[in-house]
Each structure stands twice: as C-alpha cells, then as structure tokens.
Amino acid sequence: MTTPSPARWPAFAIAGLMLFGPRVRRGGLALGILLHGAIIVAMGLFSFGLIMIAALMLASGSGRRESSASIPSESRRTTGGRSRRPPSVHTHTSIPLKGHSMRTVVTPFLPAEASESELSDCYEAWVSAYADFPDRPAPSYRAFVDLLRSPTNLLGPEQFWVARALGRTVGIASLTLPQHENTRLTVTSVRVLPKMRRHGVGTALLRATLPTAKAAGRTTVTGQGLKSGGEGEKWATALGFAKVQEFVLQRLVVADVSPDLWAVPMPPGFEVLRWTGAAPEALLASYAQARTAISDAPTGASSLEFASWTPDRVRRHEAELRARGDEQRVVVAVHEDSGRVAGLTEMITTPSRPELGIQQETAVLAEFRGAGLGRVIKAAMMRWLIAERPETELVITNTDAGNAHMIRVNLQIGYVTDYIVSDVEADLGRLL
C-alpha cells in the first residue's frame, strides 16, 4: 500500500472531520472552503474547486442538523420522578416567507441537546420580546439557558420549536401543557426576531405547536402577558384570539424605596410567621386552606383555574420549586385565637437572577379581610427579603387589573405600576 502524498493530507483531514458532530463538521467545512478557494486562486482549477466545496457542504449538511432536531429523543427532564416528555407530534414544516424569496423551516427544539450557537441564536429571538418592556431588564443569556433547561416549569412540561431561515434562528415558540389543573389548556408563547416580523414566521411557529396540543387532548390555546396594544396582542387578535384578562405589572426598585414603607404594625390578635422552602407540618393544612382564598381574586373571562390547594398540592409545589433550584419564602399571618393561617404571601428568588424577587400569590381568607393583613404580610416579606438577600435590586409582581385592593397595597409599600398586559385565548379547533 502506498502512503498518501503529504500534499493530500489536508484533504484527508477534512474528510475525517466530516465524520464528527455538527460543530466539528462546520469547522471542517470552513477549512475545506479555504483549501479549495486557495486551489482555485493558485491553480485556476475553478470547476474542481467549486465541485469539492459543494460536496463538502453536502457532507456537513445543515439539513442533517434540522432533521436530527425532529427525531424524538428521551427527555432528561422530570417532575417528581415522572418523565416530563409530553405526548408530542414532531412536525418539520417548511413554508415560503411572505414577501420574501426565502423559506423558513420550523422544527422541534431540544434545549438539552442544543449547541451554544443554537442557544445564543434562540436567545436573540426570545429576548427581543423584552423590547415591549423597557423597564424590565431582560434575563442574561445564562439565565435564559437555565430557564430553557430547567427540570420543571411550574405548570407542566414545556416543549420548544424554532424557525430557521438563512441558517439562523429567527423565532422560537414554547408550549406548556399544564398538569395539575387546567388540563384542557396550553400555555403558548411565540417570539420572532424584530427584523423577521410580518413574514408569517410567528404564525408558522404557532401552527407547529398545534398538533402536539391536539394530541395531548387540549382544546384551548392561551397566550400570557401580551403588552396591551403591542405587536403580540395585534398578532393574536388577527389570528382569532380573544383578550380574556388584563393584568397590571408593578415593580419595586429597592434603591428607590424607603424601608419606612415596610414598617407596618400588626393588628392585634395576629402574629407573623415565616419559612423558606417547606411549610411547618403543624400549619400545613391551615396554610393550604388559606391558599385556596386566591380563588376569590378576579380573573376576567380567563379559563385558567387556580390550584386547588391541599396539603399534598402544597408539598408538590414546594418540591417543584426546589427541583428548579428556586428559593421560596412564605410569610403568613396566624390568627392567635384559632391558630389558623389567616393570610399568606409568597416570594420566589432564582439563582440565575440573584438581583430579582418575584412576588407571587398573596391571599387573605374572606373572614379576615379588611384588617390590613395583606399590607402587613407583604411589608414583612420585603423586610425579610432585603435583610437576607441584600443583592435584591428589583421585585416584580402582576395583579388582575380589576383587583384594586391588591394594586393599592402594592403602591403603599413602594411598587410603581409600569405596564398593562393581557392574556388571550382561542379554541384550538379554530386555529387548526
């Protein structure tokens, strides 16, 4: 056997690179283009050079990457030990872009298997939605990746689709299938790079999610947090979605607020207790019952139902937060005579965004309303949060736009109102 001439080694090396994964193949393709470009320039072998470059492009194949994304693979995500991979219909659609000569390809997207360059492409599309909310700092790229790869989303399993055009990601859609409540609904989100909007990408992404929603037995598609009057709302309305609920978004910028606002005295007959992560066993049943009081909050025409809080459901919620790596703080007001939890408020912090507090549910049982407990427990929560997490710069919350009491309590302890957003819904059958 003869040894190949050293002049051919680069060609063998490039051929070898084509046997590896997509990133190495891309490196091989770049080397091949350089090598054959040099051959064309130095030796004038125009046809040979071009044929070889075309062959290398085929071997490194971006088509291969797209089809591999559409092959179902076992998810590593779990909730309480169960596989979180929902029933899924793996579509791969290619549609012409409206008003453009190119096409877009929509494929399922598996964040756990995506390369950094694919993820950073997705980040650009995902983060573009923050343009609607200039006062809300967008999560960093790392926080975004953590979010996508997080083992649980509190509602249920979440799947992603991406739209690609000209070799890059131009939009991303996510579909969540709530598991505990709301099992007739999906929570769907679609985001498209601003420069690629109005070409049908958003609609193509939405359509790609629908077969999976149908296969999972869902009948209603929900979109959440669309800025009132913004592009998302206009798009959703054009596609037949109806606005079902409006929310007020409020933010508390710690540096702008005097802690005096949090020095709110407790009304007689109540005491404040607090915990991180797990409710004390002795208060569990009463705490679960107090949480059900959230069901009295206005919800407009939304089909979304609040959780039916039982001790088991509380423990599951706590476990899901722990699985995400989130820290849950709870402050309760306990009625001293009966020992019952009269009201509660919950704050979530997440390691990837240490500067942020997310003020979640606050509820006071009907018979204890009107005594100022809501303000007392929220103010106590702020004192505790800032004492333990001085790195907190911003706390955000959202409240039904008709919930005047809660909105006022928030203003009293230093929140300002910044945006109005809405939830939209459509019958799945009408979108298919």
Ligand X SMILES: CC(C)(COP(=O)(O)OP(=O)(O)OC[C@H]1O[C@@H](n2cnc3c(N)ncnc32)[C@H](O)[C@@H]1OP(=O)(O)O)[C@@H](O)C(=O)NCCC(=O)NCCS
Spatial distance between the Cα atoms of 83 and 164, rounded to a whole number of angstroms: 29
Kindly state the smallest distance separating residue 172's Cβ from ligand X, in Å.
9
Contact 223, 424 (CB under 8 A): yes
Q: Quick one: 173 or 331, whose CB is closer to ligand X?
A: 173
173: number of Cβ within 10 Å = 26
Q: CB neighbours of 368 closer than 8 A, spacing ≥ 6?
A: 333, 335, 342, 343
- Stretch (H or E) spanning 24: helix 22-43
Beta pairing class for 394-400 and 356-364: parallel
Q: Does 238 bind ligand X (CB under 6 A)?
A: yes
Range in contact with ligand X (rule: CB under 6 A) among 19-27, 135-143, 179-187, 193-201: 193-201
Q: Does 190 bind ligand X (CB under 6 A)?
A: yes
Pick from 234, 253, 298, 338 the residue near ligand X by CB under 6 A: 234
Kindly state the smallest distance separating residue 163's Cβ from ligand X, in Å.
8
Q: Quick one: 98 or 408, whose CB is closer to ligand X?
A: 98
* Dihedral (CA of 280, 282, 283, 286) sign: positive
Range in contact with ligand X (rule: CB under 6 A) among 8-16, 70-78, 228-236, 336-344: 228-236
Under DSSP, the state recorded for 401 is: T
Kindly state the smallest distance separating residue 198's Cβ from ligand X, in Å.
4
Kindly state the smallest distance separating residue 405's Cβ from ligand X, in Å.
29
Spatial distance between the Cα atoms of 186 and 304, rounded to a whole number of angstroms: 10
Pair of tokens at residue 57: 């492009």
Spatial distance between the Cα atoms of 426 and 241, rounded to a whole number of angstroms: 5
* Helix, coil or strand: residue 6: helix
> Nearest residue to ligand X, using CB?
232
Q: Does 235 bind ligand X (CB under 6 A)?
A: yes
Residues facing residue 109 across a β-bridge = 160
Kindly state the smallest distance separating residue 79's Cβ from ligand X, in Å.
23
Q: Does 345 bind ligand X (CB under 6 A)?
A: no
Pick from 23, 64, 82, 198 the residue near ligand X by CB under 6 A: 198
Q: Does 191 bind ligand X (CB under 6 A)?
A: yes
The one-letter code for the residue type at 390 is P
Contact 223, 423 (CB under 8 A): yes
Kindly state the smallest distance separating residue 240's Cβ from ligand X, in Å.
10
- Can you list the alpha helix ranges (DSSP code H) found in 71-181? 116-127, 141-149
Q: Does 86 bind ligand X (CB under 6 A)?
A: no
Find where tokens 């872009």 sit. 97
Q: Does 60 bind ligand X (CB under 6 A)?
A: no
Residues 5-44: x/- map of binding to ligand X (CB under 6 A)?
----------------------------------------
Q: Does 199 bind ligand X (CB under 6 A)?
A: yes
Q: Which residues in 91-120 contact ligand X (CB under 6 A)?
A: 98
The footprint of ligand X (CB under 6 A) covers 98, 129, 189-192, 197-203, 223, 226, 230-232, 234-236, 238
